[in-house]
Structure 1
Amino acid sequence: MRHGTLTKKGDHVALRFERRLAHPPQKVWRALTENAELAHWFPARIDGPREAGAALSFVFPGENAAPMSGKLTVFDPPKVLEYMWEGERLRWELKPEGTGCLLVFTTIPSDRAQVTRDAQGWHFCIDNLEARLDGRPAAKHDKELFARLNAEYTARFGLGGFPAFLRSGANRVAASSLDIPGLEASVFDGVDGTQVVLCHATQDANTGERLQDFDEYLVVLEGSYVLSLNGNEMPLAAGSEFIVPKGARASGRYTAGTRTIHAFGGRGLKRAEAK
């Protein structure tokens, strides 16, 4: 399988790629560690001693951006290379297989919501690593290619959570307004009195029944949501949208990991105090 897979690793998720390469570990190791080789497939030059515990700098040639920092945590040639890059852990493992080897690359993203972006980027990089080892030309940064990879990984992974800028302290729903264990929410107020609420279930959760004060537009982004409307249950899968009318008796039941958007014709929830 050439595509990356997503697995749970403690409280985080891990993005993992496996590639069977027709080259011995020693050759692949040079491609992973030497800047002359990294230039053909890796997004940055890595400056710093190649020894465990060494501080690293990630430099983007031809760009004015300041170098990014990191640390080399494991250096065991030609088996395991692991380093931190601005808070993200990258681990490369080489396992001999006949005259070639199995490459296992694992990264733990700092933000789950960025995993689709990370997956498409690393997929592209590892494709070019393989091309370099095989003596083939590297693929160019092509909009069509990245659009295809983005669509593939979005279908596989989703975002898993809302981006951090949508979950700021000023947008979090006050506990007094939304007291539902396992449900995180952020609220945005429109100038015309409408309100949009983003909900993410960190565990199975039930909203309890309420009488609708306003019309509500509901979209299920990821996972599954069971809407109960006037006593009738309607399972809604990812991609479903629904209008809940004013005056209805409604409740919702989330499975863990589900994300929904609710747009109301008025302001039924209060903002949290900014922290």
Structure 2
Amino acid sequence: MKHGTLTTTGNKVELRFERRLAHPPEKVWRALTDSKELAHWFPARIEGAREAGAALRFFFAEGEPTTGKISVFEPPRVLEYTWEGDLLRWELKPEGKGCLLVFTTIPADRANVSRDATGWHFCLDNLEAAVDGNPAAGFDKERFSSLNAEYAARFGLGSFPAFLLSAANRVADASLRIPGVEAYVFDGADGTQLTLCHAKSDADTGEQWREFDEYLVVLEGRYVLRINGMDMELGAGREFVIPRGARISGRFTAGTRTIHALGGRKFERAGT
């Protein structure tokens, strides 16, 4: 499978790609480290010694150079370095006459993880083409947009857009807060209320009686809804309507984001 996969631990995410290549590790290693080979597929020009502890500089056609550092250099097996806060790790594992390339990266900003996955997907496609002796594919804006939308659907955005995270909309009353969950609330003119929740760690809402009808949708992660004694596991993209009068509780897995639309007001905003 050429698509990257996402693992979430707390507030950190790790992207992982696996590509089986019909070439020995030594040849692929040159593509990962030699400047002339990197030019065929890597998004920036890299300057710096190829050895553990070496400082790196990354150059694009425009703009100031960015920096990084090699932390692991074990030819032709493992290469690991940082790039402006992102950790990039390349592993080559022999398989018959070829090898398995495992690329993992821990992005510094999880909010851009879908975009990052799309970019690295394209880079790895061009790396495969380069070691096969084929020309790199040119940038296809339509394909990039389509693949980015696909990764966004797989992974979610990682966080809510900044314009929704006003301090005035944070849940104010400490007695109403859920430990480990950052929540923002918006009041409708008709008395309805919309709440955005982002679990920064595993969290439990505790049991409560629902005073209003509630529409729940899980944007990302995993949420276990316990309703009238029955557990329902809801993954990304799942939605559920909770009727008024139900006895409920919920369990968030770290990184989970949910939206709750209530038929009446429950939370107080910081601005009230």
* Contact 1:48–1:56 (8 Å) recurs in 2: yes
* Contact 2:180–2:203 (8 Å) recurs in 1: yes
Partner of 2:250: 253
State the shift of 1:185 in Å. 1.4
Structure 1: how far apart are the matches of 2:155 and 2:218?
Answer: 15
**Which of the numbers 196, 199, 210 marks the counterpart of 2:197?**
199
User: How many pairs align?
Assistant: 266
**Deviation by residue 1:178-217 (Cα, 9 ceiling, x = unmatched):** 232343313346789865321134325235325647x755
**Which of the numbers 80, 83, 108 marks the counterpart of 1:82?**
80
State the shift of 1:125 in Å. 0.6
State the shift of 1:129 in Å. 0.4
Structure 2: how far apart are the matches of 1:111 and 1:263?
Answer: 28
Q: Secondary structure at the match of 1:37?
A: helix
State the shift of 1:132 in Å. 0.8
Q: Secondary structure at the match of 1:96?
A: strand
Q: Secondary structure at the match of 2:176?
A: coil
Partner of 2:174: 176
- Unmatched 5+ stretches in structure 1: none
Q: After alignment, is 69-78 or 140-149 more displaced?
A: 140-149
Structure 2: how far apart are the matches of 1:54 and 1:9?
Answer: 29
In structure 2, give the amino acid aligned to 1:149.
Answer: L
Structure 2: how far apart are the matches of 1:9 and 1:227?
Answer: 23
**Deviation by residue 1:251-274 (Cα, 9 ceiling, x = unmatched):** 44234254211245776433459x
Partner of 1:114: 112
Normalised by the size of structure 1, how large is the TM-score? 0.78
**Deviation by residue 1:38-57 (Cα, 9 ceiling, x = unmatched):** 22211111122222222222
Q: After alignment, is 37-46 or 166-175 more displaced?
A: 166-175
State the shift of 1:104 in Å. 1.4
In the TM superposition, 1:60-209 aligns within 5 A as 60-61=60-61, 63=62, 65-159=63-157, 161-162=159-160, 171-174=169-172, 176=174, 178-188=176-186, 195-201=193-199, 202-209=201-208
* Contact 1:183–1:205 (8 Å) recurs in 2: no
Structure 2: how far apart are the matches of 1:55 and 1:26?
Answer: 23
In structure 1, give the amino acid aligned to 2:182.
Answer: E
In structure 2, give the amino acid aligned to 1:203.
Answer: D
Displaced runs of 4 or more, over 4 A = 8-11, 163-171, 188-195, 231-236, 240-245, 264-268
Across the aligned residues of Structure 1 and Structure 2, the Cα RMSD in angstroms comes to 3.4
Change (3 A) 1:175 1:126: farther
Structure 1: how far apart are the matches of 2:10 and 2:241?
Answer: 37
Overall identity of the aligned pairs, in %: 65
Partner of 2:225: 226
In the TM superposition, 1:22-41 aligns within 5 A as 22-41=22-41
Q: Secondary structure at the match of 1:198?
A: strand
* Contact 1:205–1:256 (8 Å) recurs in 2: no
- Unmatched 5+ stretches in structure 2: none
Structure 1: how far apart are the matches of 2:79 and 2:109?
Answer: 22
Structure 1: how far apart are the matches of 2:210 and 2:92?
Answer: 59
* Contact 2:70–2:82 (8 Å) recurs in 1: yes
State the shift of 1:158 in Å. 3.3
Partner of 1:43: 43
Structure 1: how far apart are the matches of 2:115 and 2:144?
Answer: 10
Structure 1: how far apart are the matches of 2:35 and 2:10?
Answer: 33
